[in-house]
Chain A
Amino acid sequence: MSRRNGHGAKKELDFELNLTSLIDLLSTCTCFLLISAVWIQIGTVEIKQSHGTEAAAAAKDSFDLDLVFKSASDLHLQLKKDGKPVKGIDVKADTNEAMLIKLNEAIANQILNKDNKSKKMTIAVATVTPKSTVNYGQLVSTLDVLRKNQIVNIGVLTAKGQ
């Protein structure tokens, strides 16, 4: 198939693509992206030291949760309302990983769905009390379990009880 142009010469339909500029563009793009690539994805777990901030004053009707580490695989949960203890749960296992699974179940079943109502309970502030035998990685894993259960206002109790 051919088409005649104004001068009578045949114009070729089988065209050639100039690949040099395309390859240049792709190599530049690749170089830029390789240089600016982030190989380690760093994220954050936010801690709000709740004393004296809006977090504590947000909702008086809701419950507070205290988590006290006895050891890396032994944790005591204390549910409070207006500062008064409502329910205490001991979460204990052989390993820290097993304890975290039990903690997740305890928060989901025994605390957030405490009264078996369709509406889930809201925890205003969760306070974690660390212990020297618990390392930072295990502390963050515990905070992770809380965040997974939509508890986002988390404070960590310091040694002076602040």
Chain B
Amino acid sequence: MRLNQSIVAANPFEKHLINRRRKKGKGMRSPQFTLMLTSMVDMFSMLVIFLLQTFSNTPEVSMLKGMQLPNSMTPSIVREAPVLAISRDGNLYLDQKLVGKTSDVSKKPDELLNKLNIIKKGWVSSHTSAFTGEINLQADREVESTTVSLVMGVLTASQFQSIQLAVIGK
């Protein structure tokens, strides 16, 4: 098996010409180039192995731009659920759509409750099992913890009791 001597030109006659030119003019630069296929195949294989090892089939969760999630040493796997996000500037987003300022929503949560009810009804109509009440909550690490707990209160009132706090796994 000759890997290293493989030449890009596929034609055997061209190969012969290249070899003859190589033998004749030692030190002269050939216009035809040879590719070191062994190292290239090695590199490709290592890249594929590395990428296969880091491959993850967890569901894709969209994240707000500029959001800095807190770190965690004990993260669990993300499950697919609606995403409620609290940005650093205090805005509240449900599935990437702005609901309003967190301070306003916590005082008057009707709009958020309505949207959550729509999600809940949609879930119930598409599933035969009982409502699990799962929701992903993303919040910036600099947000006040009481703000997050206020939003949790609204979620609990809307029967979303299994709250998954999004974190970055270390």
Chain A: residues with CB nearer than 8 A to chain B? 14-17, 19, 22-23, 26-27, 29-30, 33-34, 36-38, 40-49, 51-53, 69, 130-132, 134-141, 143-144, 147-148, 156-160, 162
* Cβ-neighbour of A37 out of B55, B70, B71, B136 (below 8 A): B55
CA gap between A51 and B144 in the complex, in Å: 23
CA gap between A92 and B76 in the complex, in Å: 29
Residue in A19, A43, A49 whose Cβ sees the most chain B Cβ within 10 Å: A43
- Structural contact, A43 and B152, CB atoms closer than 8 A: no
Chain B: residues with CB nearer than 8 A to chain A? 1-3, 6, 37, 40-41, 44-45, 47-48, 51-52, 54-56, 58, 61, 63, 69-79, 136, 139-150, 152-153, 155-157, 161-169
New A-B pairs, 10, CB < 8 Å, besides A23-B37, A42-B61: A37-B51, A42-B78, A42-B166, A51-B156, A136-B70, A136-B141, A139-B148, A140-B71, A144-B74, A162-B153
- Structural contact, A135 and B75, CB atoms closer than 8 A: no
Q: Which residues of the other chain, A, contact B145 by a CB distance below 8 angstroms?
A: 69, 130-132, 134-136, 138-139
8 residue pairs from A and B, CB less than 8 Å apart: A33-B51, A33-B55, A38-B54, A47-B162, A49-B156, A136-B70, A137-B70, A148-B74
* A42-B169, A45-B75 as given contacts; A135 in contact with B143, CB under 8 Å: yes
- Structural contact, B141 and A135, CB atoms closer than 8 A: yes
Main secondary structure of the interface of B (DSSP, over half): mixed
State the Cβ distance, B117 to closest chain A Cβ, in Å: 18
Q: Which residues of the other chain, B, contact A144 by a CB distance below 8 angstroms?
A: 72-74
* A44-B75, A53-B161 as given contacts; A159 in contact with B41, CB under 8 Å: no
Q: Which residues of the other chain, A, contact B148 by a CB distance below 8 angstroms?
A: 130, 136, 139, 156
* Cβ-neighbour of B150 out of A43, A47, A141, A158 (below 8 A): A158
- Structural contact, B51 and A34, CB atoms closer than 8 A: yes
- Structural contact, B76 and A45, CB atoms closer than 8 A: yes
CA gap between A156 and B72 in the complex, in Å: 17
A16, closest chain B residue (CB): B2
State the Cβ distance, B120 to closest chain A Cβ, in Å: 16
CA gap between A157 and B139 in the complex, in Å: 17
- Structural contact, A46 and B76, CB atoms closer than 8 A: yes
State the Cβ distance, B86 to closest chain A Cβ, in Å: 8
B44, closest chain A residue (CB): A26
- Structural contact, A148 and B73, CB atoms closer than 8 A: yes
- Structural contact, B55 and A41, CB atoms closer than 8 A: no
Q: Which residues of the other chain, A, contact B146 by a CB distance below 8 angstroms?
A: 130-132, 159
B86, closest chain A residue (CB): A136
- Structural contact, A45 and B167, CB atoms closer than 8 A: yes
* A26-B48, A130-B149, A148-B73 as given contacts; A44 in contact with B157, CB under 8 Å: no
* A38-B56, A49-B161, A135-B142 as given contacts; A14 in contact with B1, CB under 8 Å: yes
Q: Which residues of the other chain, A, contact B40 by a CB distance below 8 angstroms?
A: 23
- Structural contact, B164 and A45, CB atoms closer than 8 A: yes
Q: Which residues of the other chain, A, contact B150 by a CB distance below 8 angstroms?
A: 158-159
